Amino acid sequence: MNPFDYARAADPAEAVRLAGARPNTKFLGGGTNLVDLMRETIETPDSLVDVTGLSRRIEVLADGGILIGAAARNTAVAADPAVRKRFPMLARAILAGASAQIRNMATVGGNIMQRTRCCYFYDDAARCNKRVPGAGCDAVGGFNRMHAILGASPACVATHPSDLCVALAALDAVVHVEGPTGGRTLRFIDFHRLPGDRPDIETALAADELITAVELPPLSAAARSTYRKVRDRSSYAFALVSVAAALDVAADGTVGTVRLALGGVAHKPWRAAKAEAALHGAPATEASFRAAAEAELMDAVGLPGNAFKIELAKRTIVATLAGLVRGERS
């Protein structure tokens, strides 16, 4: 690990000021991703600004939404009674990720900003456009079981590894950000980028901008929502495919509100807008769910190691929605 300076920020303004005072500064949450990457010298910041002392409040808003401070621990969010009741998919997504120890350390801000688990990104003997722009991508012809089937580019086929973020994408979350010139908000679905020819640029956040909170707008359909994760072992593994879904079925048996997002399939948490459009007003049956899944995965491209994920994603969408119709809770 390269040497670095450490400072702890007392409030967002101080965090932004400290980050602006030196080039090559990174914010530090629980460190569960950043410390690992620094140890491998994939990340080499000259200074760290510890933002774990900033707001970790989880607050129910007057409109029924929830505002979550960026320093809230993943465990605290998953255990929060209002989150569990109003947005169970978020609690389930968090609980499906990592281990209890890591969830106790990890912050919401850090989870959103965590980097891919592509093994070539971690291996500085491999070629990786995300690590060294223009170097090439060893994943395309290599081990790509965990890689993207949607929205990838010739430059990078990595996936975003977060579970929590898949729920945020489905729930139309809003990211509150503080920068040197003040605050702004971003739609969560615009927060992460597709790789294009610059896979090294992963989000719409500037280097000196801080995530201060995540807001979940009210969504009554989310009270009946869930998260389903398919992985190589049943706990403590990253997703091959995951589905965050909320579903409201009208009295006549047709789909009312539906929210669907996929994890493990793309460079960003993937909001399944095509499937949602196909489902609107359709009968809430497995046939409709299958048709919607086909629509979403129409443009999917498989690699030798991950082509199976296209069918897996379709089946997981169908199974998750059918489970919600049956009233299954998990």
Ligand X SMILES: Cc1cc2nc3c(=O)[nH]c(=O)nc-3n(C[C@H](O)[C@H](O)[C@H](O)COP(=O)(O)OP(=O)(O)OC[C@H]3O[C@@H](n4cnc5c(N)ncnc54)[C@H](O)[C@@H]3O)c2cc1C
> Would residue 134 be called left, alpha or beta, if left means φ above 0 and alpha means ψ between -120 and 50 degrees?
left
157 binds, among ligand X, ligand SF4, another protein, none (CB under 5 to 8 A by kind): ligand SF4
Nearest-angstrom CA–CA distance, 28 and 40: 16
DSSP 115: P
The least distance separating ligand X from the CB of residue 161, rounded to whole angstroms, comes to 6
Q: Strands of 270-271's sheet, edge to edge?
A: 225-230, 241-249, 255-263, 270-271
Q: How far is CA 23 from the centre of its chain?
A: 27
Which residue lies nearer to ligand X by CB, 75 or 254?
75
Widest Cα–Cα separation across the chain: 64
Q: For residue 48, state whether it binds another protein (rule: CB under 8 A).
A: yes
Query: CA angle, 105 as apex, 29 and 263 as ends, to 5°?
Result: 85
116 binds, among ligand SF4, another protein, ligand X, none (CB under 5 to 8 A by kind): ligand SF4
The interface with ligand SF4 within residues 252-311 (CB under 6 A) comprises none
139 binds, among another protein, ligand X, ligand SF4, none (CB under 5 to 8 A by kind): ligand SF4
Site string for ligand SF4, 197-236 (x = CB under 6 A): --x-------------------------------------
Which residue lies nearer to ligand X by CB, 238 or 270?
238
3 binds, among another protein, ligand X, ligand SF4, none (CB under 5 to 8 A by kind): another protein
Q: For residue 21, state whether it binds another protein (rule: CB under 8 A).
A: no
Instruction: Pick one of 92, 160, 224, 267: the residue that binds another protein (CB under 8 A).
Output: 92
The least distance separating ligand SF4 from the CB of residue 278, rounded to whole angstroms, comes to 30
Site string for ligand SF4, 152-171 (x = CB under 6 A): ----xxx-------------
The count of chain residues that interact with ligand SF4, using the rule CB under 6 A, is 14
Nearest-angstrom CA–CA distance, 146 and 265: 8
DSSP 57: -
Q: For residue 187, state whether it binds another protein (rule: CB under 8 A).
A: no
Sequence-distant (≥ 6) Cβ neighbours of residue 215 within 8 angstroms: 61, 65, 66, 67, 68, 173, 174, 175, 176, 185
Sequence-distant (≥ 6) Cβ neighbours of residue 63 within 8 angstroms: 217, 218
Q: Strands of 174-179's sheet, edge to edge?
A: 58-60, 66-69, 210-216, 174-179, 182-187
Residues contributing to the site for ligand X (CB under 6 A): 26-34, 51, 70, 97-98, 102, 105-107, 109-111, 113-114, 161-164, 210-211, 238
Please give the residue ranges that form the binding site for ligand SF4 (CB under 6 A): 116, 118, 120-121, 128-130, 137-139, 156-158, 199
